Amino acid sequence: MGRSVQARRDAPERSVGLQVTQATPNAGVPLNLEWVDEVRVNTSAVERRAATLVTRRTVKKDWQIAWLLKAITCMDLTTLSGDDTHERVRRLCAKARSPLTEEVKAHLKIGELPVQVAAVCVYHLFVATARRALEGTDIKVAAVSTGFPAGLNAFEERLAEVRSSVAAGAQEIDVVVTRAHVFGAEWQRLYEEVRAFKAACAGAHCKVILGTGDLATLRNVGRASLVAMMAGADFIKTSTGKESVNATLPVGLTMTRAIREYAERTGTTVGFKPAGGIRTAKQSLDWLTLMKEELGPVWLTPHLFRLGASSMLSDIERQLSFHGSGRYAAAYRQPLV
C-alpha cells in the first residue's frame, strides 16, 4: 500500500492512469489486516504532489468548456438542509434535468447535447418525491443514510434506514461509517459494518462516506479507504459536507491511490466522490485533473466519479455563459432552485 499512497520522489508529476477498460462491480474481498497495516503515507510528499498537480495540468478555452460540461455530468446535485421541503426537492430535480439554460446552450451551440447531472442526493423523506420528479431520465436518486451525518444511531436503526430508502426507490445510498472504529484501529468492526450496509443496499450502489475531516491523519484515511473497499463499497466518499474540514486534494490523492492499488490487486474498480466545500468551476477542474492523472480517463465517468456539490453548478454555468457570450450572467439568471 505504501508504494501507491505515497507521492514518490522519482516521478512526482507523472501520469499513472490504470489500464482498465470498464467498470467492474465490487463484491468485496476478505479483510486482509496485513494489507491494512502496510499503509504508509508520506504527508509532505502527498501535499507537494497535490499542490503541483493543479498548477502543471491546465485546460484552456474550448477544452475547458468540455471539462466543465463533463463536471456537470458527474455531479450529485444535493440538498441536505434542515429546511428542505418537497417543493425544493422538485425544483432541484428540475435543475438536474436541465442544468443549463437554453440561452447558455444556444451561445455554446450545444442545443442538441444531452447535459444532465448524474444524481440528486436527498434525505430519505424526499426519495419518493425525487423519483417521481426524475421519472423518464437516467438521473439517479441517492439518499443519505445510517444516521447522517454523525452515524451514531443504533446499528439496527441505521440498517433499517438503508432498507427503507431502497424500498422508497433510492438507487444509491450514501452511508456514514463509525469514525471511532478508525480511531481505535478496529478494522474488523469497520469491515463488518460496511459489509452489513452493502447487504442492506440490496443492489443499490453503496457509497461509503469516511468523514475524512474527522480522521486526523492521511494514514487513517488510506487505511479506512482500503477496509471500506474490501467490504464491498462501490464508491468511497470524502465527507458528509457537515465536518469543519471536507474534501481536500491531499485527502483525494490518498483515496485515489488506495483505489488504484485496490484495482491493481483485485481487478475491481471502485468509484470516488469528493464532497463538501466544492463551490467553484475551478475546483471542479482541479478534481477532474486529479482523477485523470491518478486513475486515468476510465474514471472520468459518472459510473466512477461524482462531485458532491450544488452551489458549484451556478459558477460553472456563469463560466459557460461567459465563454459563449463574452459576458458574465448575473447570479439571478442562473438560480439553482
The catalytic position among 207, 237, 286, 315 is: 237
State the Cα–Cα distance between residues 184 and 231, nearest whole angstrom: 18
Q: Phi, psi (5° rounding) for residue 246?
A: -115, -130
Please choose, from the candidates 205, 208, 198, 201, the residue with its C-alpha nearest in 3D space to the C-alpha of residue 177: 208
At position 42, the amino acid (one-letter code) is N
Count of alpha carbons within 13 Å of 150, Cβ hemisphere only? Answer: 3
Residue 173's DSSP bridge partners are: 143, 206
Residue in the structure block whose three cell numbers are 438503508: 162
Helix (H) / strand (E) containing 122: strand 119-122
At position 9, the amino acid (one-letter code) is R
Q: Per the structure block, which three cell numbers stand in for 201? A: 443496499
State the Cα–Cα distance between residues 34 and 302, nearest whole angstrom: 32
The catalytic position among 174, 234, 286, 315 is: 174
Within 84-176, residue ranges assigned H as helices are 86-97, 102-108, 127-133, 155-168
Query: Cα–Cα distances in Å, from 23 out to 16, 183, 310?
Result: 18, 32, 26
Q: Is 174 a catalytic residue?
A: yes
Q: Is 273 a catalytic residue?
A: yes
Beta-carbon count within 10 A of 294 CB? 24
Q: Is 204 left (phi over 0), alpha (psi -120 to 50) or beta?
A: beta
The catalytic position among 95, 207, 273, 292 is: 273
Instruction: Return the active site residues.
Output: 174, 237, 273
